[in-house]
Amino acid sequence: MRIDVITLFPDFIAQCVAFGVTGRAGERQLLSLHGWNPRDYAEGNYRRVDERPFGGGPGMVMLIDPLRAAIAAARAADPAPARIVYLTPQGAPLTQAKVRELATRERVILLCGRYEGVDERLIEAEVDEEVSIGDYVLSGGELAAAVVIDAVARLQEGALSDAESAAQDSFEGGLLDCPHYTRPVEHELGRVPDVLMSGNHAEIARWRRREALGRTWQRRPDLLDEPALSKADHQLLNEYRARFAEVGDDFDG
Ligand code: 9WO
């Protein structure tokens, strides 16, 4: 997979994804990353990439032509068609489903804005979709681009070890992850649940599934599609809920 990033700070992006899974994906040639700086395509003595907004107001707006030229250069660098994604607070929320969809593409071009944003005409003419990593405003789209690159890199075949891949699968089901423990068994902060030391892999898998279902129900009920749960999962979720029902009974006295 090839990812091109249109950004005023190509080095920043390169550094963000130089380590860990994304670095490994690059070394294994599972993912290639290329930066394109609109300033390299800006004209005039000052190579301007931004200008004051029409209508007044704070901030500056990124000019059409340097961005358009950088996008054209990125497109021309490889014959494969590319999907252009603009990282912005106004975008659709990034989900694992969207990550999976992007990860199947041969090419993606990530457009990172700065200042107050990009001239709307460039967005309308060049952008295929707008994506947000959360409801907050950053200084630019680069950190959001790094998030997309990391999430997509993990899904490239061969990027993860078997253990990492299994862990990824646990979230792939749309549930939150279960709790994790390591040594020591006893600590002033508590004891590791006995089931995890039982060696009974079926019971361990059952415990992990129940904790993942329960956590999702508690923390992110919006992710839980209860009607779609299997009979076994319904049973596990009821076991988890029973924990709280008992506490509730005591409370009610
Ligand atoms: C800057 C600004 C300055 C003065 C008044 C209002 C203003 N709004 C902005 C602004 O929204 N800047 C954005 C910076 C323009 C697009 C690139 N930037 C950005 C992307 N910030 N946060 C994101 C982002 C991207 C994806 N998911 C979450 C946040």
Residue 172 has what pLDDT? 66
Name the token pair of 156.
């490239």
Q: Does residue 189 share a domain with residue 80?
A: no
Residue 116 has what pLDDT? 96
With the most atoms of ligand 1 within 8 angstroms of its CB, the residue from 118, 127, 138 to mutate is 138
For ligand 1, say whether the CB of 116 is within 6 Å of any of its atoms.
yes
| Mean pLDDT, the chain, integer | 93
pTM metric for this prediction = 0.90
- The label of the residue with tokens 């990492």 reads 164
Output the domain CATH number for residue 18. Answer: 3.40.1280.10
How many Å apart are CA 107 and CA 229, to the nearest integer?
Answer: 35
What is the number of the ligand 1 atom nearest to the C-alpha of 131?
A: 26
Residue 180 has what pLDDT? 97
For ligand 1, say whether the CB of 130 is within 6 Å of any of its atoms.
no
Q: Does residue 172 share a domain with residue 67?
A: no
Residue nearest to atom 19 of ligand 1 (CA): 140
Residue 164 has what pLDDT? 73
Q: Does residue 172 share a domain with residue 149?
A: no
Output the domain CATH number for residue 210. Answer: 1.10.1270.20
For ligand 1, say whether the CB of 35 is within 6 Å of any of its atoms.
no
Residue 165 has what pLDDT? 74
Q: Does residue 135 share a domain with residue 173?
A: no
What is the number of the ligand 1 atom nearest to the C-alpha of 88?
A: 25
Length of the chain equals 253
Query: Where does residue 177 rank: exposed (0-12), middle (13-18), buried (19+ CB within 10 A)?
Result: middle
How many Å apart are CA 148 and CA 28, to the nearest integer?
Answer: 19
CA of 85 to the centre of ligand 1 (A): 15
Residue 108 has what pLDDT? 98
- The label of the residue with tokens 């997979």 reads 1
For ligand 1, say whether the CB of 93 is within 6 Å of any of its atoms.
no
Q: Does residue 123 share a domain with residue 11?
A: yes
163 within a domain of the structure (yes/no): no
Q: Does residue 77 share a domain with residue 188?
A: no
Q: Does residue 131 share a domain with residue 25?
A: yes
Q: Where are the beta strands (DSSP E) in 32-116?
A: 32-36, 50-51, 61-62, 83-93, 107-112
| Residues annotated as catalytic (active site), given as ranges | 89, 116, 154, 169
159 within a domain of the structure (yes/no): no
Residue 247 has what pLDDT? 62
Look at residues 120, 153, 186 and tell me which one is the last residue of a structural domain. 153
How many Å apart are CA 141 and CA 158, to the nearest integer?
Answer: 28
Taking only the tens place, the pLDDT of each residue in 200-247 is 999 999 999 999 999 999 999 999 999 999 999 999 999 999 999 866
Look at residues 105, 121, 153 and tell me which one is the last residue of a structural domain. 153
- Span between the terminal Cα atoms of the chain, in Å: 60
Residue nearest to atom 8 of ligand 1 (CA): 116
Range of the domain at 242: 168-250
- Three-state SS for 3? strand
